[in-house]
Amino acid sequence: MANIQVGYGHGDVVGIPFDFYGGATLVTGSTITMQTNQLLLSNTTGGAIAVTINLPLNPVDGCCAEISNVSPAVADVLTITAINANTGDVIATSGLGVPATITVAASTAGGSAAATVKYKYTLNGFQPASGAAVNPRTWFRVQ
C-alpha cells in the first residue's frame, strides 16, 4: 500500500482564523484592534454605528488586512471614524486612503453581500538603486 499524505494538497478544508464583532459587542464608539488579518463586523441594530479600527500589531511582510461589513441589511451602516496603524507602522496617505463608511453592497433574502476594505503591508518598503528604503513598515489601501 502506498503512503497517502493527509493534509494540504488533497482538497482538505483549511481554516483561517478571523475576528468577528457583532450584536452587543459592536456599539458606537468602539475601538477594535485586529488580532488576525481578517475582521468581520455585523451591525444588527437597524441603524448606523461608528467604530475605530486598529490594524494588526507586528504583521509579516506582504500581510493583507481585510475589514468586512457582513451586516444583514443595507440600513446597517458601519462608519469608520478612523483606521489606525499599530505601534511603529504607518498608513500611506497617498492612494485610496481611509474609507469614510463601509456599507453593505446589497441585501438579499438569503443574506447580505459584504463590503470589504483591504490593506497590504510592506515591512521593508521599496528600495530603489540608491538603497534608501521608501515607505518601510507601511499599510497601503488596495480596495
pLDDT, tens only, 86-135: 888 988 877 776 666 666 544 455 555 567 888 888 888 777 777 777 77
Q: Is 73 left (phi over 0), alpha (psi -120 to 50) or beta?
A: beta
* Distance separating alpha carbons of residues 64 and 62, to the nearest angstrom: 6
The verdict on residue 9 lying in a domain is no
The verdict on residue 126 lying in a domain is yes
Residue type, 116: T
By the 10 Å C-beta count (0-12 exposed, 13-18 middle, 19+ buried), 66 is classed as: middle
Cell of 85: 496603524
- Tally of structural domains, the chain: 1
The verdict on residue 12 lying in a domain is no
Rg (CA), the chain: 18
The verdict on residue 46 lying in a domain is yes
Q: What pTM does this model have?
A: 0.76
Q: Report the relative pairing of strands 138-141 and 90-91 from DSSP bridges.
A: parallel
The verdict on residue 99 lying in a domain is yes
The verdict on residue 75 lying in a domain is yes
For residue 6, name the pLDDT band (cuts at 50, 70, 90). low
Q: How many CA atoms lie within 13 A of 130 on its CB side?
A: 4
The verdict on residue 10 lying in a domain is no
Predicted pLDDT of residue 22: 83
By the 10 Å C-beta count (0-12 exposed, 13-18 middle, 19+ buried), 48 is classed as: middle
Task: Please give the biggest Cα pair distance in the chain.
Answer: 61
The pLDDT tens digits for 65-74 are: 998 888 777 6
Q: Which domain holds residue 134?
A: 19-141
The verdict on residue 14 lying in a domain is no
Select the more confidently predicted residue: 38 or 69. 38
